[in-house]
């Protein structure tokens, strides 16, 4: 009898152990206090703020780089005559110089100055100064208007749409006046003069002010140069001739002219 009691007790114990082993275990999670939760939330906020700060820093760097690039392209006015070794004015790259109509000449200077500003061949007229305004409109080369802009070409004619004058805007002053640079046919090599945009903008009493050609605003036209209209000072055959050597002008030949760069 004692044996059977022991056996039964053993079986009961085994059954209890078997049931305990089969019962699923529940993971214990320690309770999170309010302070711990706040700390975790603060940590996430700090990470987010750090990411936003990094993005802001990148944006600021890009803005600084863009500003530096714009500053590098800042317009530099020409207030002195170009050197005779400046190829924009005194080489066959300048079509007026190449055709025997180099400086002193307003068109040769304005063409060279536009070349210098753009650092590429300008799509300007290669005819007399009074034609530039009208040729630009016909060629759809550059935007144009009545408001001065740095680097713009100012145009006049003698009420004939042929002869006239061109110069380049170098400074726009707070009082509304505009400083222009220029050269003069059979006259001075280089000079600057001021016009009042509130006035007539006349170069002389005999000339009509037409407006400004904005060489920094190219239009969709191909800029094909006009050379066949009546009164043209240039013909295609002239442009192909080697009328002037490619060698720079020797300043000693014209000691009376300025050679400052």
Tokens 């749409």, located at residue: 161
Distance CA 21, CA 2 (A): 29
Q: Are 182 and 112 in contact (CB under 8 A)?
A: no
Q: Positive or negative, the Cα torsion across 194, 172, 162, 244?
A: positive
Nearest to 229 by CA among 134, 140, 157: 134
- Percent over 90 (pLDDT), the chain: 49
Nearest to 89 by CA among 256, 244, 254, 253: 244
Q: Which helix (H) or strand (E) holds 106?
A: helix 106-118
Mean pLDDT lowest for which of 40-54, 100-114, 118-132, 159-173? 40-54
What tens digit of pLDDT does each residue of 171-190 get? 999 988 999 999 998 899 99
pLDDT at residue 167 is higher than 70? yes
Q: Are 131 and 125 in contact (CB under 8 A)?
A: yes
pLDDT at residue 161 is higher than 70? yes
More confident residue, 169 or 47: 169
User: 7 pLDDT band (50/70/90 cuts)?
Assistant: low
* All domains in the chain, ordered by first residue: 95-245 (3.90.1720.10)
Q: What is the pLDDT of residue 196?
A: 82
pLDDT at residue 233 is higher than 50? no
pTM confidence score = 0.62
pLDDT at residue 130 is higher than 90? yes
User: 226 pLDDT band (50/70/90 cuts)?
Assistant: low
Distance CA 81, CA 187 (A): 14
Mean pLDDT lowest for which of 69-73, 78-82, 90-94, 97-101? 69-73
Helix, strand or coil for residue 72?
helix
Q: Are 243 and 98 in contact (CB under 8 A)?
A: yes
pLDDT at residue 165 is higher than 80? yes
pLDDT at residue 105 is higher than 50? yes
User: 238 pLDDT band (50/70/90 cuts)?
Assistant: very low
Report, as an integer, the average pLDDT of 108-124: 97
More confident residue, 2 or 139: 139
Q: Which helix (H) or strand (E) holds 155?
A: strand 153-157
User: 215 pLDDT band (50/70/90 cuts)?
Assistant: very high
């Amino acid at each position: 009898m004692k044996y059977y009691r022991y056996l039964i007790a053993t079986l009961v114990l085994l059954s209890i152990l078997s049931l305990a082993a089969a019962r699923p275990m529940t993971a214990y999670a320690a309770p999170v206090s309010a302070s711990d939760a706040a700390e975790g939330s603060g940590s996430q906020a700090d990470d987010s703020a750090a990411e936003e700060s990094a993005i802001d820093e990148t944006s600021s760097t890009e803005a600084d780089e863009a500003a530096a690039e714009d500053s590098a392209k800042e317009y530099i006015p020409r207030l002195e005559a170009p050197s005779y070794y400046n190829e924009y004015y005194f080489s066959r790259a300048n079509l007026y110089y190449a055709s025997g109509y180099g400086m002193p000449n307003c068109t040769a200077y304005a063409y060279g100055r536009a070349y210098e500003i753009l650092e590429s061949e300008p799509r300007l007229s290669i005819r007399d100064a009074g034609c530039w305004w009208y040729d630009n409109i016909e060629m759809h080369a550059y935007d144009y208007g009545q408001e001065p802009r740095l680097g713009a070409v100012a145009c006049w004619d003698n009420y004939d749409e042929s002869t006239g004058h061109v110069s380049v805007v170098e400074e726009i002053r707070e009082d509304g006046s505009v400083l222009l640079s220029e050269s003069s046919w059979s006259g001075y090599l280089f000079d600057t003069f001021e016009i009042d945009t509130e006035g007539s903008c006349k170069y002389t009493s005999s000339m009509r002010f037409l407006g400004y050609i904005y060489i920094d605003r190219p239009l969709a036209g191909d800029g094909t140069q006009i050379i066949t209209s009546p009164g043209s000072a240039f013909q295609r055959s002239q442009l192909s001739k080697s009328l002037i050597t490619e060698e720079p002008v020797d300043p000693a030949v014209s000691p009376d002219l300025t050679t400052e760069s």
